Structures are given as structure tokens and as C-alpha cells.
Chains A and B, each alone.
Chain A
Amino acid sequence: MSAIIEVSHVSKSFGGVHANTDISLSVEKGGITGLIGPNGSGKTTLFNSIVGYHPIDSGSIRFEGREISRMLVPEIARLGLLRTFQQTRIYGAMNCMQNMLISIPHRKMTLWEAFRRNSPEEKERAEHLLEFVGLYEKRLLQAGSLSFGQQKLLEFAMAMMNEPTVLLLDEPTAGINPTLINGLIDRLKRANSEYGITLFIIEHNMRVIMNMAERIYCLAYGKLLASGTPAEIQDDQRVIDAYLGAH
């Protein structure tokens, strides 16, 4: 397997805060990679750097061999590198179907094609994906009226609708009740195995990430602390110290 995202020597600081310092990591194509670390260790900053929310201070980020560190958010999204948000974001005043239908891949859609209606195939796919996350019955309800957990599922379905190559998930299970988490893990795994989507996941729930990821990176104080298989990470004393605060 080859690396689909290559982050090399990336640094980013906000004023005096060094959010990321000289971070290098790679995400394997077709796999599930995890990113963990205590609060404030720079995980979301790294995600934001990868998807183009802010320019990085130094280093390079490559996606499928192409340098993307100077590209804008929508351009990177159209390449097939998509992210979901930690504070779930959906289009609240639109219903679930409309949320799904506007999430079709925009890399192919020209201005003229935008003046058409959605094709029956797109509607079918949207309904199928809503069924996949268990929201089919609520598809005509306003997305803003759904519960937080349901909005998270909707956001995930929208990301699937976009046919990404890589999906960056920022805490996909945060705020979801424990019974639903199992269903979500199952769906994430199926997105990876059935739809071939490479996943790169930030997660605080150790049970979830150890269960899913093939390789895990751990950040602390903006630096890469450790990397390895879930078993290696679990046994790494530095990781335990970072989480529990060693002195």
C-alpha cells in the first residue's frame, strides 16, 4: 500500500502558540488511520492545515502526490479530500434530502449543469445513503430539527454522497450515545471496506479508535509523540504519560 496523504515537517503557530511543530506522518491509501492526543495537542489544527483552512508556516502536504498546502478549501474538497466537523455542520433550514442532494461531487459540476435538477439516480443514491445511516424516515424533516447524534449521522452520509477518496473525520463519535456508537463504527468500517474510502480519524474514544485503526499517530503539545499499531500505542509509556500527565 502507498501513502495517499503525506505530511512532512509541517509547522503552524498562532501568535506565540506552536500548535503544530515539525509534524510528519502519512495516511495509507485504502486504510483507516487514527490521530489521537490530549485536548489542545494540535489534532484539529493539523486537520485544518491539511484541508486548507489556513496556510501552514513551513513544511509540505501532499495528496495523491500533489502539493496541496497552498490550495483553498473548496479546491481541496473537489480533489476528493473531504472533512467533517467536530461541531457538526449541516444545512439546518433544508431537509435531509436537500442536504444530501447538494452534497454531490462538485468537481464534475459546471455552472451550466447547476441549472439542472437532480437526476433520479442522484435521488436514489441519496435515499440509499440515508437508509445506510438510518435516517430514511426523517428525510423530509428539517435537518436543523434533528438531534445532535442524528445530525452527525447526516453529516457522515453527506460526506459519503460526495464520493471522497479520503475522509477526515473529526471526532465522529463525540456526543453520540453508546448504543449508536457501535452502529456508527460498523458504518465507518463499511464505508472503508465497501466503498473503498480511506479514513483518517481524530478520536478521543480509545475503544473506538483501537478497534478501527490500522495505524495510529499520537500528538502531544503540538509534536508527534508516537506512532504505530494500536497494540504498540497502547503499550507506549509516553502516550500513557501524555494522557495522564506524568511528572
Chain B
Amino acid sequence: MSRNAILHIVLLAATIAAPLLFPAYNAFLATLWLFIIVALTWDMTGGQMGYNSLGNIFFYGTGMYVGAVIAIGMYFPVGEWTDAARSELFLMSPGQYYTGLAVGSLGAGIFCALAALIIGALTFGLRGPYFAIGTLGVAIAGGEIVSNIEWLGGGQGISMPNPPGDFDSFKVLIYYLFAGLGVVLFIFLRWFYQTRFAAAINAIRDDEEKAEAMGIHTLRYKLVTWAIAAFFVGIAGSISAFQLIHFEPLETAYQTINLGIFMVVCVLLGGKGTLWGPVIGAVIFHVFKEVTWNYFLGGQWIALGALIVVIVVFFQGGLMGFFRRRFPEWFGVRVETKGATETAS
């Protein structure tokens, strides 16, 4: 067995064992997986395709609302539920709860993928910073629109049904949902980045006009890539809705200045356009964030700002980019003559 395979198995075992070994850190680890998911999906367009979206948080927020509406709406009228959040108590059986969680999350993923196709068709005409600002506008508008719809609880947000069973095992369940989604996403991307599809979006990143001149179906690849990313973010959003039990539109769901920016910082920290970069970046960033939030409260935003400055000034390609420049041969960059390949193989 190769060293690489052993590394993957060890990581997978650690992922499965983590909540049992460190029960006190369950919430921390669940959020870590959320960061990995949003970083990996952001990198699909930002790193691999060259479209720096600041609006991916839109799919997170929309995923929350769609997941909640489906889960509640399957059994109760949504308007009455949100209206009665404080006064009247609706009760859900465990069966209803878990069905709602599964169907709601899947529905959220599909809804967000379709939304990405529509928003993408409108915004992929924008290039560079204009695309970033355009998508940021979509995310901000999303939050503002939702907070004005009374049916969705308006600015109050939505209170989700209480999880059945004891709270500790619920936290373990949430961890495994995020971790499972993250692992599926990682395996999917590992395969996806080997396909011709991925080569096409890399070509779009490097020179879109050239890609068009070579006959590549640029818009089609851009839309499908973003839709796949939105699918995973939407599911993650829905799981978050169940995890948080109560959420509101501007600070939790469409949190453009928090998670919406954090996902970008994670990728920049780890290295854009690589498979492992967003994962490594998410781990470092999340640990850094938790440490400063816990031990440096009051100065946490300053520390975060300093971190971003350091990355942008000294590590423009992120950690993976740094290694790539120092050790290009690790990444298969080498001069190879015909004779050399024959002896090597």
C-alpha cells in the first residue's frame, strides 16, 4: 500500500473517531467540517475557474431557509409555524424530524443548484472584480429580501423543531452529517479534478477568450461547476439550520461578512486551485479563529485582519503555492526527455 493511501485511511479513521475521542470538541469539529465544505466549494469557482465569487454565502443562507421550509412544510403550514414561534408549540415526532432533515437538506441542495444556474446565467457575463461585487450584491439582496418575507419569519428568522433525544447524541449526529458531506465532497473533487471538465474550467481561468476561440463550451462549464458547488453549500446550510435550532436572516443565514469572507480567507491561506489547499487553509483558519476568539477576545478581528494581511503580502499563492514555488518537482513539474521516461517506467 502506498504512503498516500495510508495517509488517507488514517485521516478517515480520525474523522470517524474524533467525536468519540473528543466529545467536548464536537461543535468545534462540526464547524471545522463546515469550513472545509465552504472552502472546497468556493475554490471550485474561485481557484479552479478564476471566478472569485463573494456570493457563495447566498447558497448557504438559501439552503438554511429551503431546508427549514421543506422540513416544516411537510407536516405543518409554514406561515402558522413561523407566526407562532413563541406562543404555540408544534410538536414533531422523531420520524417526522429525521425525514424532514433528510428531505429538507437534499431539497435545499437541489434548489441551490438550480438557483446557481439562474444567477450564473445572469452574472457570468461579469469578469474579475465585477463578478465578485455582482455576486456579493446577490448575497446581500438575498438576506434583505428574505428578512422582509413574513411567511419566512421576517427579521426574526425561523425556529426549527427541537431535536429528538438527548442533546449530546444530536451533536454527534450533526458532526457526522457535516463530516460525511465533507468526505463525499472531497472524494468527488478528487475525481472531478482529473476529468476533462476540470481541465476546461482551468482553461477558462487561465484565458477565457482563448478557451472560447478553441471552441470550449465556456458558459456551460461555468454554470455546471457553480451549480455543483451550490448543491453542496445548500446541503451544508440546511444542516446548519437544524444544528442552530434558531436562525435569523442577516447574521446567521446570509452572513456575508462572516462565513462569506471566511471561506475566501481559508482558500487564500491554503492555496487557490489545489485540492488540499482549501482543506489545510480551513483547518489553520478555524483553529486560529477559535484561539483568538477564546483567548484574545476584543482583539480577535485585529488578529484576523493581521492574518489576512500576512497572507496577501507574503503568501500570495497560499501554503500550497509556497510549496509549489519551492519544490516544483513535488507537483510533477520537470523536464523529461524521451529516454528518461522509458527508463523510469
B224 at the interface (CB under 8 A from A): yes
Asked if B202 contacts A94 (CB within 8 A), the reply is yes
Asked if A140 contacts B336 (CB within 8 A), the reply is yes
Q: What's the Cα separation between A78 and B211 when bound, in Å?
A: 12
Nearest chain B residue, comparing its CB with the CB of A81: B215
Asked if B215 contacts A106 (CB within 8 A), the reply is yes
Q: Number of contacts between A and B (CB, 8 Å)? A: 104
B207 at the interface (CB under 8 A from A): yes
Mark interface residues in B332-345 (1 if CB within 8 Å of A CB, else 0): 11111110000000
B220 at the interface (CB under 8 A from A): yes
- When distances are taken between beta carbons in the complex, the residues of chain B under 8 Å from A142 are 333
The contact of B202 among A91, A114, A118, by CB within 8 Å, is A91
Asked if B273 contacts A114 (CB within 8 A), the reply is no
- When distances are taken between beta carbons in the complex, the residues of chain A under 8 Å from B218 are 74
Q: What's the Cα separation between A158 and B215 when bound, in Å?
A: 12
Mark interface residues in B185-198 (1 if CB within 8 Å of A CB, else 0): 00000001011110
Interface hub of B206, B215, B332 (most chain A Cβ within 10 A): B215
Contacts A92-B207, A101-B196, A102-B203 known; A138 to B214 CB distance under 8 Å? no
**Nearest CB on A from B267, distance (A):** 16
Q: What's the Cα separation between A137 and B338 when bound, in Å?
A: 7
A141 at the interface (CB under 8 A from B): yes
Contacts A94-B206, A102-B199, A111-B220 known; A85 to B213 CB distance under 8 Å? yes
Asked if A85 contacts B210 (CB within 8 A), the reply is yes
Provide the main secondary structure of the chain A interface: loop
Asked if B336 contacts A139 (CB within 8 A), the reply is yes
Nearest chain B residue, comparing its CB with the CB of A78: B215
Contacts A98-B202, A113-B196 known; A140 to B213 CB distance under 8 Å? no
- When distances are taken between beta carbons in the complex, the residues of chain A under 8 Å from B183 are none
B212 at the interface (CB under 8 A from A): yes
B246 at the interface (CB under 8 A from A): no
Asked if B221 contacts A114 (CB within 8 A), the reply is yes
Asked if B212 contacts A93 (CB within 8 A), the reply is no
Asked if B206 contacts A93 (CB within 8 A), the reply is yes
A117 at the interface (CB under 8 A from B): yes
A61 at the interface (CB under 8 A from B): no
A82 at the interface (CB under 8 A from B): yes
A103 at the interface (CB under 8 A from B): yes
- When distances are taken between beta carbons in the complex, the residues of chain A under 8 Å from B213 are 51, 73-74, 77, 82-83, 85, 89
The contact of A116 among B195, B203, B206, B335, by CB within 8 Å, is B195
Nearest chain B residue, comparing its CB with the CB of A99: B203
A68 at the interface (CB under 8 A from B): no
Asked if A106 contacts B212 (CB within 8 A), the reply is no
- When distances are taken between beta carbons in the complex, the residues of chain A under 8 Å from B196 are 101-102, 104, 109, 113-118
Asked if A117 contacts B214 (CB within 8 A), the reply is no
The contact of A117 among B194, B210, B211, by CB within 8 Å, is B194
- When distances are taken between beta carbons in the complex, the residues of chain A under 8 Å from B335 are 137-138, 140-141
Asked if B338 contacts A74 (CB within 8 A), the reply is no
- When distances are taken between beta carbons in the complex, the residues of chain A under 8 Å from B209 are 89
The contact of B195 among A89, A98, A114, A158, by CB within 8 Å, is A114
Q: What's the Cα separation between A140 and B333 when bound, in Å?
A: 5
Contacts A93-B205, A115-B197 known; A82 to B336 CB distance under 8 Å? no
B217 at the interface (CB under 8 A from A): yes
Contacts A94-B203, A101-B199 known; A106 to B214 CB distance under 8 Å? yes
Nearest chain A residue, comparing its CB with the CB of B220: A111
Asked if B210 contacts A111 (CB within 8 A), the reply is no
Asked if B214 contacts A77 (CB within 8 A), the reply is yes
Asked if A106 contacts B216 (CB within 8 A), the reply is yes
A107 at the interface (CB under 8 A from B): yes
A11 at the interface (CB under 8 A from B): no
**Nearest CB on B from A43, distance (A):** 17
Asked if B197 contacts A158 (CB within 8 A), the reply is no
Asked if A91 contacts B220 (CB within 8 A), the reply is no
Nearest chain B residue, comparing its CB with the CB of A104: B196
- When distances are taken between beta carbons in the complex, the residues of chain A under 8 Å from B210 are 85, 89-91
Nearest 5 CB-CB pairs, A to B? A77-B215, A91-B206, A106-B215, A89-B210, A114-B197
28 sample A-B contacts, Cβ–Cβ < 8 Å, listed by A number = A51-B213, A73-B212, A73-B213, A74-B215, A74-B217, A82-B214, A85-B213, A89-B210, A89-B213, A90-B206, A91-B206, A91-B207, A93-B273, A94-B202, A106-B214, A106-B215, A106-B217, A114-B195, A116-B195, A116-B196, A117-B194, A118-B196, A118-B199, A137-B336, A137-B338, A140-B333, A142-B333, A158-B214
If A51-B213, A102-B202, A103-B214 are given as contacts, then 7 extra A-B residue pairs at C-beta distance below 8 Å, sorted by A number, are A74-B216, A82-B213, A91-B206, A115-B195, A115-B196, A141-B334, A162-B214
Residues of B within 8 A of A (CB): 192, 194-197, 199-200, 202-203, 205-207, 209-218, 220-221, 224, 273, 332-338
